[in-house]
Amino acid sequence: MSLDGLTSAQVARARPNVVPRRSSRSLAAIIRANVFTLFNLVIGVLWALILVFGAWQDSVFGLIMVANVLIGVVQELRAKRTLDRLAVVGESPVTVRRDGADRRVPPHQVVLGDLIVLGPGDALLVDGEMIVSAGLEVDESLLTGEADPVRKEPGDPVLSGSFAVAGTGLFRATAVGTDAYAARLAEEASRFHLAHSELRDGVARFIRYITWLVIPIGALLTYSQLSNSADFATAITGAVAGIVTMIPEGLVLTTSIAFAVGVVRLGRRRCLVQELPAIEGLARVDVLCLDKTGTLTAGGMTLDRVVPLREGRPVGDALAALTAADGHPNATARAISDRFPSARWRPLATVPFSSERKWSGADFGPHGVWLLGAPDVLLAPSAPERAQAAELAATGARVLALCRTNRLPDGNRPPASHRTDPITADAHSASHRTDPITADAHSASHRTDPITADAPPEDASTDPSVIGVEEGEPVALVVLKQRVRPDAHETLEYFERQGVSVKIISGDDPRSVSAIAAGLNVPGADRAVDARTLPDDEDALGEALDAATVFGRVSPQQKRLFVTALRKRGHTVAMTGDGVNDVLALKEADLGIAMGAGSPATKAVAQVVLLDNRFAALPHVVNEGRRVLANIERVSGLFLTKTFYAIVLSLMTGVAGMMFPFTPRHSTLVNAVTIGLPALFLALAPTLERARPGFVPRVLRFAVPAGVICAFAVLLAFRAAAGGTLEEQRTAAVLALFLTTWWVLVLVARPLDRWRVALVAAMAGLFALALASPFVREVFELRPGGPHDDLIAVGIALVACAGISIAVKVAGTLRT
């Protein structure tokens, strides 16, 4: 096959790589989800009954349903536009070869038959067949679960969903769009949906239970109203009032609005939320695992100095030639080539970096064989140069060893750490799987850094695969500076104040990580742990993780084990990363957060992408999650209190065979000023409350006693005014209903700062205005009786309010 790729004419005729966006659903799907719901069906039928048999004033609840649908659709469309716009910005371009030239194109412009260029860190977005391979190794663990990278040769198939970890290659796209392997596997999982979460499950559970209750209780209520009223229209109106009030239709709407507004707010801070439920995950995080490079430190680095170890060696020529031989230079290679730009040697053979080798090298013929890699891999433990490298690393610098040897070692042999494992001889055990990616060496071009991989155990001097001083000559140490992000210190302090434990994990030398952490005043930075000494057992590992903060020489497999062990101990774990070595841990974490400049693989698996690469954005991300979750819990208490008092009222009036104490227009008025309007404000209010487990039982402990007491207060006020007309009785009941539910609003809104006091006062003012306005009283059929009946209703309501306060306080659900 020609290596020039497709022509422009062929590209125009070929099938493009079009797949549904993971971050949002279509307009049709948004409309269907907001319109065609069970509750809308029930309310629509009841609305039709009122329009046929009742007064128009009693049908206002139907207009509220329409408004809810419109608000839900509009808010989600805003979120969709934000997500789609940010998703385009966050897409990593793909290098394709067309008309004999390499060019970068968006993923959706890749077409069937394209020649795609691969380098370390590149994600495979389509399926294909290898055409050219220069030591290319592909990690397919996200598809197969196998951690070992797979060497790819010409003719081998490659699958979307995997990513390159070493070498370079060229493959031809054989399946694109929804035909690609990963797209077929992820078709269901990738669709926009509220993923598994306590919040979503809790709301769904409420709705499921209420749905089953509405049917029999509604039937009982309808029968009782028909039996106790000679007027069919009055009976239907009473039955509809009870059934409509039982339905918490606004809860689903408010939850959707809170999520959507959260997405828009984060979008303004250049945070792409690829799955809306990730916002909930933000609120629950209590452990944040930070990948040092690219998170605490900036993506680039600079060459500080080169320390010669032997006199008269061509160090500059060797470094220039080694970095020039890398077709996909990373931050390390670029920093070196900036100092040594002119390569005069040409390689006869090269071995690209791989985490299995932890070094890269090239044979330059008469100039010799040169290797560049981690000092504790290329240098024997007893070598004095290795101790010198350790001293330099303790200052926070990144240190590389440049060695000259007589032969280019076999690039396929396993690393030392997998050949003389002191714990087990199994080279592929769970704790010693092949390291698919080097540890924290990421760059702006997202290539794997050939230096900072996990080093072999301290007894590696006995391992024949170590490139030690017996075989090679240490020529120089290369010292690179890492730039700490200016906002890192303030951001770490924020998490400490918020009670979020921070774990700094890195593949660098523990001494280097410790120095950087100490400069940021991280607690326990002086006690950095070498991850190679950690136990393999998850329970023991979890104890070690709880006891320490800073970890060095962490392999990608260990990063995933860290996350697993922390989750097993009951923690909600967020993981940040920007390189392919973070992919497995990001996928395992409750919440994966990738940097916008990270590798395509990391952005593909993360739920949140920080497009501006700003570590300081994380507090805003966490705050938004806490705001959404805490506020949804608040408004859930409001909506479910309404549901439970309606259930109790319907049961009691149905069993007692009495008229329902209010009509739909009454519930519309009271619900608007005590639930609907304040819920919109409360759902979007700022809050820093940390999410707590037990959302469902906590809401029920509040809503059930509050709803029951409200129901009894309404019935007592209704019966106390039995000497008046039905309209006067219902007005007394409405007065008691407003006062008790308004008090529920006061309790839910706590702590009562200035704006919350203004909110609850405004709602009381609106109701008082409704009572004072003759026109409003006429529309809502409010006909107060004598002062005696109204005072009794107020007295009953005050006693009920005290009872609600005591009940919910005993239940332990009040915020202060």
pLDDT digits (tens, 9 = 90+) for 517-562: 888 888 888 888 988 899 988 889 999 999 999 998 887 778 889 9
* 587 contact partners, CB below 8 Å, separation of at least 6: 142, 560, 605
Average pLDDT over residues 775-783: 88
Q: Is the pLDDT of residue 210 over 50?
A: yes
Q: Contacts from 37-40 at CB under 8 Å and sequence distance 24+?
A: 37/252, 38/207, 38/211, 39/207, 39/247, 39/249, 39/252, 40/65, 40/69, 40/249
The per-residue pLDDT for range 494-525, each reduced to its tens digit, is 888 888 899 998 877 888 888 888 888 888 88
> Please, which pLDDT band fits residue 418 given cuts at 50, 70 and 90?
very low
How far, in Å, CA of 281 to CA of 572, rounded? 8
Confidence at residue 230, expressed as pLDDT on a 0 to 100 scale: 56
The pTM of this model reads 0.66
pLDDT at 402 (0 to 100): 93
- The total of other beta-carbon atoms located within 10 Å of residue 70's CB is 12
Least confident of 242-246, 277-281, 490-494, 680-684: 277-281
- What pLDDT does residue 131 have? 93
Can you give the pLDDT at residue 440? 34
* pLDDT band per the 50, 70, 90 thresholds, residue 226: confident
Q: How do residues 251-268 score in pLDDT, each as one tens digit?
A: 777 777 777 788 788 888
Strand 157-158 versus strand 127-139 pairing type: antiparallel
User: Which of 7-21, 179-193, 480-494 bottoms out in mean pLDDT, i.e. has the lowest?
Assistant: 179-193
Residue 497 has a pLDDT of 85
Query: For residue 471, what pLDDT is reported?
Result: 62
Q: Which residue has the higher pLDDT, 63 or 722?
A: 722
Strands 369-373 and 398-405: antiparallel
- Prior bond to 751 cis, omega within 30? yes
Q: What average pLDDT does the chain have? A: 79
Q: What percent of the chain has pLDDT over 70?
A: 84
Output 320 or 37, whichever has higher pLDDT.
320
Residues forming a β-bridge with 172: 115, 129
pLDDT of 463 reads 39
Range of 436-445, 524-533, 679-688, 807-816 with top mean pLDDT: 524-533
Helices 618-656 and 198-227: crossing angle in degrees, nearest 10, is: 20
Bigger pLDDT: 763 or 298? 763
Q: Residue 432 pLDDT more than 60?
A: no
Active site residues: 291
Helix (H, G, I), strand (E, B) or coil at 430: coil
**Highest mean pLDDT, choosing among 327-331, 377-381, 434-438, 469-473:** 377-381
For the ranges 56-65, 178-187, 304-313, the lowest mean pLDDT is seen at: 178-187
Query: Which CA distances in Å does 747 have to 617, 630, 741?
Result: 33, 14, 10
| Terminal C-alpha separation, the chain | 72
| Structure confidence at residue 805 (pLDDT) | 93
